[in-house]
Structure 1
Amino acid sequence: MDTELARTFLTVIATGSFIQAADRLHVTQSTVSARIHSLEEQLGCILFIRNKAGTTLTPAGAQFQKHASTLVRTVEQARQDVGIPSGFTGAITIGGRFGLWDQLLLDWLPRMQQLAPSISIRAEISFEPELMQGLIEARLDIGVMYTPHNRPGLTVEPLIEERLILVSTNPNDLPEPGPGYVYIDWGPEFYVQHSASFPEFTGAALSANVGWLGLHQILKHGGSGYFPERHVRAIIDEGRMTQIAGAPDFLLPAFIVYTSRSEKKHLATAVETIRKVASEQY
């Protein structure tokens, strides 16, 4: 069976629709439909029920899901095993949000290299949909993110809890979004909390999906925004920004996600070391 068909099948499950799967895979919707139709013909059954809300797995589709995951994982595992750099005995691929690399995962990297010098490490930066897709397809061994989804074969554990605070280059700013406010997309949980706290907020002139981008914009041109306290505490202490008194704080949990059953050497060491680094910092 063509693994591309199985990968497309898993992408439809992850996104919930043929349209979003096509966007994720950078192909047309008709291509996704053709692949699923070909897969159904090979298996002799219907895998999805399509409706206005998206797609729903049939009983046969739910049964095939574990086999599709195994197929894709096996192929990806083979590719990684064959592609291990010379002089190393194994490889681990880890992905995380940009902000979670800062301090947390960047502190983990040298410690992991010291503990397992024979293991090659590939580091990636992505957002939650790409991270989850990589874990499902076994292209990633570990993902660190804010809003994961439970999927068969993956373990999801709470890791840290970010405290997002409102900071500004103007110490006299009001405790609410105002002129110069940069909205940072910290994910759906932040959006819900932000909307509840500021019901009259209709949008910012500038928004960013990466905190680093918004922070440097504010530091260079002035303004305000919500950022993890650990990212801006030193900047506040230097007097370059002020935490706005009276503004609500928002809690944003981060999670570590990894393959539940893996024969990869030192994967358990990598996960445990991330836990230790997180516990030392929080």
Structure 2
Amino acid sequence: MDSIQNMNRALAYIEANLDDEIDFQLVARIACCSEHQFNRLFSFLAGIGLAEYIRNRRLTLAAIELHTNDVKVIDVAIKYGYSSPDSFSRSFQNLHGITPSMAKENGSLLKAYPPMTFQLTIKGGAEMNFHFVEKKAFKIVGVKEIVDTTDGEFYPEIWNKLENDDLLNRLQCFSNTDFPEILHVSANIKANSRDYYIAVATTKDATHEFTTLEIPAVTWVVFKTSGPQPETMLKTWERIYAEWLPSSGYELAESIEFVRDLNDPTDLSANQIWIPVKRRN
């Protein structure tokens, strides 16, 4: 229950500072977790990325201000964090369907995105199969991309190269551990971006085309997913954050998260989600 209260305190800080610069490190401290953890928890509990939520709240307040007060569009744009009237107008029109100038007119239809709070709910008892793994520190080698998630979408450009590139075969040449499969790694997760790797675990040194990342020793909780993808995996991620974590006695530890391709010939849809955890104090 404390974690839900901490999240709501963090949301209250965000709400009070929508017309100012938001300190995301302070947000995380209020929620008693890291910035990485807060972004993951928020996105899965809320069903929307933190950056998108903040943008929608600011544009809601901006619309009300334009409609009810005699203010200039550029002043409202600057107040809510936009560097130019053009960028503000594009974002405003994407949400409201009309321009900021039109919002000033009587009878203009506007959309409202209310402030969010979290509460603990009891959900149906569908089972979740998981196990814990104590894994020593290891190293991954792979390709890295910083993915912009401002719009709440996650589609790395690397994926476009996979069908016409032997990237996976080149990576497999490095694989020499008891973890032979391809790993899809998320690291340094922030409100509007994350580092994404397609990698393998290895003891070898990377060549110039690949990046190395050292993973510290940590306790992992592992969930298997099987079924239509990506729907099954996304649903499992959601249940981990919305159901399993709040009731498990564990919290997120500082490390990466990754999906492990199982390459099971009897179930090509099978994957594992690996989440770093530690006992909750």
Q: TM-score range by the shorter chain?
A: under 0.3
TM-score w.r.t. the length of structure 2 is 0.24
The one of the two structures with greater contact order (alpha-carbon pairs below 8 A, sep at least 6) is 1
If each structure's helix is expressed as a fraction of its own residues, which one has the higher value?
1
TM-score (normalised: structure 1): 0.24
